[in-house]
Amino acid sequence: MSNSLKDPVYVVTRGGRRVEADNHLSIKSAQIRASKLISMIQSFDKPCSKNLVEIKKTTTPHRIR
């Protein structure tokens, strides 16, 4: 049995790792979450590669750690 989803979802990641367990059904929802996360990171941390926030489209969100 496959754990793949039928429809793709969007996952917000920071440094290649999931920031939360939520899967976003729309790119717009993921962009809003990523924007809030970027604002929070900028207020606490210096810019560096580990703070890179990305949105990944996938049918296997459980594989993104």
Q: What is the pLDDT along the chain (65 residues), one digit of tens a residue?
A: 456 789 999 999 998 999 999 999 999 999 999 999 999 988 887 777 778 999 999 999 999 98
Euclidean distance between CA atoms 35 and 33, whole angstroms: 5
Structural domain includes residue 38: yes
* 24 occurs within a structural domain: yes
Structural domain of residue 40, as residue ranges?
16-57
Strands in 9-14's sheet, in edge-to-edge order, are 17-18, 9-14, 53-58
Reference 14, options 50, 64, 61, 47; nearest CA is 50
Single pTM value for the model: 0.86
**Does 32 fall in a domain?**
yes
